[in-house]
Amino acid sequence: QKEVEQDPGPLSVPEGAIVSLNCTYSNSAFQYFMWYRQYSRKGPELLMYTYSSGNKEDGRFTAQVDKSSKYISLFIRDSQPSDSATYLCGGSNYKLTFGKGTLLTVNP
Amino acid sequence: DAGITQSPRYKITETGRQVTLMCHQTWSHSYMFWYRQDLGHGLRLIYYSAAADITDKGEVPDGYVVSRSKTENFPLTLESATRSQTSVYFCASSDQVYNEQFFGPGTRLTVL
């Protein structure tokens, strides 16, 4: 079993929709959780960074971590076509382990 | 320019040849990483380095060699390339192992 599981999608939504992206993980030692966004043919860029359990909000983006259920979520409100990208979740205790990524398309 | 750069951006080689992918960062970050990205597997760590002359294996190190004689450079060598090493390779750096990793633009490698 991979340490971080993520549904690869693809996920297609209309502009303005609320998007929910989810991952599960198996390594109880993970303390740091991240979401990266990767546009086509580009390197990943950090979108959200959280430590331990809880919520973190940044504009239209909210990251949630539930360590009791080993669940990582990213919510995007009022999604825009510019949000179309691959979203990678990751967990870290020392080395960062990524999920496979979810391809999101937001249609105008 | 400041940041993290990779060269070459595209490379086509033949099975059995040696290939070196270069990575250079200007932030003086202690940590540097090499990942490969493949459909169905996502990003997988090949090797990482905590400082000059300190390297360690990641998830998929077989067939790869790294070195880090200078803090800013972290080359990745495929000693005898195989078709299964066709992939997109990303280099990343970080000031602390838990912190944000900054990724380069990637090298698209094809092994024929």
| pLDDT for the residue B11 | 98
Cis peptide before A44 (omega within 30 of 0): no
Kindly give the parts of chain B with pLDDT less than 50: none
**C-alpha B38: how far from chain center:** 14
| pLDDT for the residue A35 | 97
| pLDDT for the residue B1 | 59
| pLDDT for the residue B46 | 97
| pLDDT for the residue A1 | 66
| pLDDT for the residue A9 | 85
Residues of A in contact with B50 (CB under 8 A): none
Q: How far apart are CA A57 and CA A75, in angstroms?
A: 9
Taking a C-beta distance cutoff of 8 angstroms, is the pair A108, A25 a contact? no
The alpha-carbon gap from A16 to the nearest alpha carbon of chain B, in Å, equals 28
Q: Which residues pair with A35 in a beta bridge?
A: A48, A89
Residues of A in contact with B42 (CB under 8 A): 6, 88, 98-101
Kindly give the parts of chain A with pLDDT less than 70: 1
Give A57-63's long-range contacts (Cβ < 8 A, gap of 24+): A61/A35, A63/A33, A63/A35
Token pair 């950090």 is at which residue? A46
Would strands B107-111 and B10-13 be described as parallel, antiparallel, or unpaired?
parallel
